[in-house]
Amino acid sequence: MSAIIEVSGVAKTFRQPKRLPGMGGALRSLFSRQFTEVRAVQDVSFTIAPGEAVGYLGPNGAGKSTMIKMMTGILVPSAGTLSVLGREPHAHRMTNAAEIGVVFGQRSQLWWDLPVRDSFDLHRHIYEVPEARFAENLAFLTSMLGMADYLDRPVRQLSLGQRMRAEIAMALLHDPKILFLDEPTIGLDVVAKDAVRKFLARINRERGTTIILTTHDLQDIEEICPRLIMVDDGKLLFDGELPRLRSALGSRRRLRLEFGTDPGPINLTTARLVTDDGAAKHFLLDSEDTSILDVLTELGNGYDLKDVTLEEPAIEEVIRTFYQSKPQLAATTP
């Protein structure tokens, strides 16, 4: 099997009856057939192979949640074809649901009034997980996510971080082939975020569970997902690995050379001089392949070099320039 998820030319347009303001407007809109259209997803295509971990990134309203809902079968695409585990998700809702796990950061799937353990037990019945397998998974997830302390507490008493860990654990109890997470780290503190990231990366690595997650937090992607899909305004902007995004954007590394005395102008072929403050000079490395050694070799020994620093462009920086310029990149699958 090559692809576990195939999305081709998928679009989703929401049609909402136009609401006119005021009481009279409310009455008129009862009879009017006017609609406002929101194009939440437009012509998106990608494929995902089993075992991949993919980060789905984009600003607010970019259509990330909409895409997740379509892949999990609770929203029907307006155009294009979508196949998850070889099936059209919404047409085979029950079978699809049994083989995937879903976590919505904004919406709890646990039973509010029940202890976490009871929610898990209900889940076992709904997904018909064999008893032995369930016990094994529960023990593993409880220790991995450090849930032992609050397994018997009602969900409504849990902190956000505790609840999110329970949500993720529940989504994995039936050994889903794919785990979809819509903003799993939203509202978590640094420690909880770190725990969730490490856990997801491990599940992906050790169990081979395919992971697709949406996020606004780039660190999620750096730590969990080798592959990044970037969307904006419903359209696909980039699909590939994070380092490739850097080079595709031409986001160059910056090299700072500091000398004991001002050596005067320096011209190099491996690095381009951008600012010259006399004793401190800043260069840009235009090529990804250039190493510091190349630059220093070219520079030679004739200088009183005191310090060398190389700065990788911050990923946030890269993404920000990306959104602002919105370049038309050829979206290619790795």
Partner 1 sequence: MKARAYAAFTVNALQTRLTYRHTIWAGAFGDLVFIFARIAIWVSVYGAAGAASAANGVTLPEMITYSLLAGPLLYWDYSRLLADVGTAIRSGDVAVYLLKPLHYPAYLAASHLGHFLFELAASTVPVAVIILLVFGLQPPASLFHGLAFLAYWPLSFMILFTLATLLGLAAFWLMTVQSLDWFFNAIMTLLSGGMVPLWFFPGWLAAIAGHLPFAWISYYPAAVYLGKLEPGQTLLYFGIGLVWLAVLLASLAWLWSRARDRLIVQGG
- Binding residues for partner 1, per CB under 8 A? 14-16, 66, 69, 72-76, 90, 93-95, 97-98, 102, 104, 107-109, 111, 113-114, 118, 121-122, 125-128
DSSP 75: S
Q: Applying CB under 5 A, which part among 24-32, 57-65, 123-131, 272-280 lies near Mg ion?
A: 57-65
Q: Applying CB under 6 A, which part among 58-66, 112-120, 147-155, 160-168 lies near ligand ATP?
A: 58-66
CA–CA distance, 145 with 196 (Å, rounded to integer)? 8
Q: Which residue has the tokens 């090559």?
A: 2
What tokens does 156 get? 């409504």
- Do 298 and 274 contact (CB within 8 A), yes or no? no
Q: Applying CB under 6 A, which part among 46-54, 57-65, 191-199, 308-316 lies near ligand ATP?
A: 57-65
Q: Which of 42, 65, 119, 215 binds Mg ion (CB under 5 A)?
A: 65
Under rule CB under 5 A, residue 215 binds Mg ion:
no
- Do 53 and 201 contact (CB within 8 A), yes or no? yes
Phi-psi region of 51 (alpha: psi -120 to 50; beta: other; left: phi over 0): left
Q: Which residue has the tokens 């995902």?
A: 48
Minimal distance, residue 229 CB to ligand ATP, in Å: 12
76, interface contact from ligand ATP, partner 1, Mg ion, none, CB < 5-8 Å by kind: partner 1
- Give 313: exposed, middle or buried? Use CB within 10 Å, 0-12, 13-18, 19+: middle
CA–CA distance, 183 with 62 (Å, rounded to integer)? 13
Under rule CB under 6 A, residue 65 binds ligand ATP:
yes
Minimal distance, residue 127 CB to partner 1, in Å: 7
Minimal distance, residue 178 CB to ligand ATP, in Å: 18
Residues that bind Mg ion (CB under 5 A): 65
